[in-house]
Structure 1
Amino acid sequence: MSKVWFGIGSNRDRAHNVRAGVKALHDAFAGPQTPLHISRVFESEAVGFVGHSFYNLVAWVETTVPLLDVLARCKAIERQHGHDSRAPRFSPRTLDIDILLYDDEVCSTPIQLPRAEILTNAFVLWPLAELSAEQCHPVLKKTFAELWQSYTGQQQLAPIALEFESLPYLVFPSNV
């Protein structure tokens, strides 16, 4: 079993798309022995462009699905929810699902792991630190709680209350 963490975000019909992304990941990967764990949802300003604020969260699940297949499933879910892969990197998103970590894998292809945004974006690091505080960054060998405590970025974000559909294998944060 491998443990994979996802960053989920949307700034178009945010609540609907974030809920849809969580449900799609749940349907694709979760089961009785492998629940999908999700963080709180955070609202943050758009980064790199002027646009509506985003809703972001982090999720993790254990899976036997290989990295390339996890990536393909994430891209398919994004497309099903209106994500245009030809759009500029810094632009509005209906649904964005990024693989942040796949076990302790460190690579640059087919995707960069661990994802660089873990260290630079509060909307990734804060929920990751809440959800997997004692998990270590595979390169820096510091826990996500330690990385969040030393975060010096200026990005403004706040947790929000967002209700999710009751799904059989969905686990909500218990430590916040």
Structure 2
Amino acid sequence: MSTVWLGIGSNRERERYIRAGIHALHQEFASAAHPMAVSRVFESDAVGFSGRRFYNLVARVETSLSIRDVSAICKKIEREHGHSSNAARFSPRTLDIDMLMYDDIVCDSPVQLPRGEILENAFVLWPLAELAPTLRHPISGQTFAQHWQNYRGQQVLEPVEFQFENLPFLKIYSACTGNAPL
């Protein structure tokens, strides 16, 4: 089984689409033996364009599927929830699901892994550092907690209260509990 880290975001009907995305990912990947884990939800300004604020979080799933197959599932879920594959890179999103890492694989195809925005965007790094503080970035070798502690970007994030659907194999992590499931 491989561990896959996903960045999830929405700035259009945010609550609806974050819940829908988590539900769809849960149906695809979660089981009693391999529960899905999610970080807290954070609110941030749009990056690269002027638009409504985003909700963002990071999820961890385990799978025996290939990188290509996981990517295809993520894109299918996006399309099913109103995200056009023709949308400009920096534009409003109903649901955006990006593969951040697949185990410790480093590659450029079929997707860039680890995804470059992990270390550039606070809305990816902070939730990842909370969910997996001791996990090491496959290129830098530093933990995500170290990367977050040393982050010097200008992005402002705010954790938000968010109620997830009650799903049987979903673990929600919080900084308040020392990275323990709620």
Structure 2 length normalisation: TM-score? 0.95
Structure 1 equivalent of residue 14 of structure 2: 14
Post-superposition offset of 1:12: 0.2
Q: Within 2, Cα distance between the matches of 1:66 and 1:96?
A: 20
Q: Is the 8 A contact 2:40 2:174 kept in 1?
A: no
Post-superposition offset of 1:175: 4.1
Post-superposition offset of 1:66: 1.2
Structure 1 length normalisation: TM-score? 0.99
Structure 1 equivalent of residue 82 of structure 2: 82
Structure 2 equivalent of residue 145 of structure 1: 145
Q: How many residues align?
A: 176
Q: Which runs of 5+ in 1 are unaligned?
A: none
SS at match of 2:84: coil
Post-superposition offset of 1:121: 0.3
Q: Is the 8 A contact 2:39 2:174 kept in 1?
A: no
SS at match of 2:70: helix
Structure 2 equivalent of residue 121 of structure 1: 121
SS at match of 1:69: helix
Structure 1 equivalent of residue 55 of structure 2: 55
Post-superposition offset of 1:85: 1.1
Aligned pairs for 1:17-32 within 5 A: 17-32=17-32
Aligned pairs for 1:36-115 within 5 A: 36-115=36-115
Post-superposition offset of 1:10: 0.2
Structure 1 equivalent of residue 168 of structure 2: 168
Runs of 4+ in structure 1 off by over 4 angstroms are none
Give aligned-pair identity as a percent. Answer: 61
Q: Within 2, Cα distance between the matches of 1:155 and 1:53?
A: 12
Post-superposition offset of 1:17: 0.3
Q: Within 2, Cα distance between the matches of 1:88 and 1:110?
A: 20
